[in-house]
Amino acid sequence: MNFELTEEQRAFQDLAAQFAADHMEPYAKEWDETCHFPVETLRKGAELGFGGIYVGDDVGGSALTRTDAAIIFEQLSKGCTSTAAFISIHNMAAWMIDSFGTDEQRRRWLPKLCTMESIASYCLTEPGSGSDAAALRTRAKPDGNAAYVLNGSKSFISGGGYSDIYVTMVRTGDDSPNGISCMVIENGTDGLSFGKQEEKLGWHSQPTAMVNFEDCRVPAQNMIGGDGDGFKIAMAGLDGGRLNIAACSIGAAQASFDLAVRYMGERQQFGRHLSEFQALQFRVADMATELEAARLMLHKAATMVDAKDPGATQQAAMAKRFATDVAFDVVNQALQLHGGYGYLKDYPIERYLRDVRVHQILEGTNEVMRLIIARSILGKK
């Protein structure tokens, strides 16, 4: 085992950190307050390879590892957690096409996705099936003319109404997981529409809306993988998505922790700096320890996902559960250490707190992560 980053990984880390400092952090407050979707900033990031981090280089991707991606997303999240999380979702959708699509499909969609000239959303969750992904009801029926007709709705879709393509899980067969397929629906397709933009606690720099299909006719050639492969594709995508969201959580928590440490060295109470109070020193020690533990767990899970290790799903669930819970706690404690100032929008910690809260819910709630872990350990189906 080698716990040191390679020279190349340190270069990725520095590149992402510099991009976050120059192009995300100075604008994150404004994006949050105005609910601005910073598409031009996304495309600037894509120029550095952030649009297809683990997509093949033959179609414009960076062909990096999951560990590389975790390092990058941690740094991007320090600049703007909401925007970094959207980039991770775009990357997950692009990876599905890259990993399961035909060569024609890869060359059709991925070059523009890697430059983020086209933006991708991932559509799995439905109003009646959140954590129970296998229960989805959006139906795609063949119409006899090399096409499918889709009817149904997807909810809480990041990029809904703005993205150019929607990588969507639909039911083409029976009511079991084997009846689910994966299709790409392009914006502008007849019958594709969007609900109102959701008003959210956090994640204000990325749009979120319901995606609706009403007699939406999609060419059969837009199916990714084979008929019935959708659930397998979705679960593989979620392993990686959980790593990314864990990395974004750690980045926000690390940024908040660093701000708190700096504040403690400046703020005085009762004639002493906050950093001189032993009770607060102990709190900082625990925060740093848990952050480091979360990062190590994440990097181990990323290595296992890359290696297609049989235990990767369990490890990814463990990393996601632990990192997102730890991150929220660390950000919350960092806010507490700032006292009343932490509650003000003049300071970024309240924004980090709002942005990381949803990480305990998405990519499978942390309760579902516990189910995955327990079933893996106990051999339950």
Q: Is residue 302 within a helix (H) or strand (E), and if so which, with residue range?
A: helix 278-306
Query: What is the percentage of the chain residues whose pLDDT exceeds 90?
Result: 93
State the burial class of residue 149 (Cβ atoms within 10 Å of its Cβ: 0-12, 13-18, 19+). middle
3-state secondary structure of 145: coil
- Do 145 and 204 lie in one domain? The reply is yes
CA gap 20, 126 in Å, rounded:
33
- Do 150 and 215 lie in one domain? The reply is yes
Q: Taking residues 323-347, report their average pLDDT.
A: 97
**In this predicted structure, what is the pLDDT of residue 5?**
93
Q: What are phi and psi of 288, to 5 degrees?
A: -65, -40
Residue 299 domain-assigned?
Answer: yes
CA gap 51, 46 in Å, rounded:
4
- Do 224 and 256 lie in one domain? The reply is no
**What residues act catalytically?**
363
Q: Is residue 29 within a helix (H) or strand (E), and if so which, with residue range?
A: helix 25-34
**In this predicted structure, what is the pLDDT of residue 122?**
97
- Do 246 and 361 lie in one domain? The reply is yes
Residue 2 domain-assigned?
Answer: no
- Residue type (1 letter), 138: T
- Do 111 and 125 lie in one domain? The reply is no
Cβ pair 206, 188 in contact under 8 A: no
- Residue type (1 letter), 312: A
- Do 245 and 374 lie in one domain? The reply is yes
| End position of a domain, from candidates 201, 230, 259 | 230
DSSP code for 22: I
Interval 33-58: pLDDT, tens: 999 999 999 999 999 999 999 999 99
**In this predicted structure, what is the pLDDT of residue 381?**
60
* pLDDT(177) > 80: yes
What is the domain-level CATH number for residue 94? 1.10.540.10
**In this predicted structure, what is the pLDDT of residue 128?**
82
Cβ pair 90, 35 in contact under 8 A: no
CA gap 187, 166 in Å, rounded:
8
- Do 263 and 368 lie in one domain? The reply is yes
Enclosing domain of residue 346:
238-378
3-state secondary structure of 132: coil
CA gap 332, 311 in Å, rounded:
32
208-219/147-158 β-pairing? antiparallel
- Do 294 and 275 lie in one domain? The reply is yes
Residue 1 domain-assigned?
Answer: no
Query: What is the percentage of the chain residues whose pLDDT exceeds 70?
Result: 99
What is the domain-level CATH number for residue 147? 2.40.110.10
> Residue 282 — pLDDT band, cuts 50, 70, 90?
very high
* pLDDT(153) > 80: yes
Give the helix, strand, coil percentages of the chain, each rounded to 5. Answer: 60, 15, 25
Residue 98 domain-assigned?
Answer: yes
State the burial class of residue 244 (Cβ atoms within 10 Å of its Cβ: 0-12, 13-18, 19+). buried
Interval 98-128: pLDDT, tens: 999 999 999 999 999 999 999 999 999 999 8
- Structure token pair of residue 261: 């440490």
Angle between helical axes of 81-100 and 230-266 (0-180°, round to 10): 160
Dihedral sign, CA of 186, 192, 197, 201? negative
CA distances in angstroms from 154 to 1, 47, 238, 293, listed in the order given: 42, 31, 17, 35
* pLDDT(132) > 80: no
Residue 265 domain-assigned?
Answer: yes
Looking at the structure of the chain, the number of domains it has is 3
Residue 165 domain-assigned?
Answer: yes
Residue 160 domain-assigned?
Answer: yes
* pLDDT(230) > 70: yes
State the burial class of residue 177 (Cβ atoms within 10 Å of its Cβ: 0-12, 13-18, 19+). middle
Residue 32 domain-assigned?
Answer: yes
**In this predicted structure, what is the pLDDT of residue 144?**
80
CA gap 191, 193 in Å, rounded:
6
- Do 97 and 146 lie in one domain? The reply is no
- Residue type (1 letter), 319: A
Mean pLDDT of the chain: 96
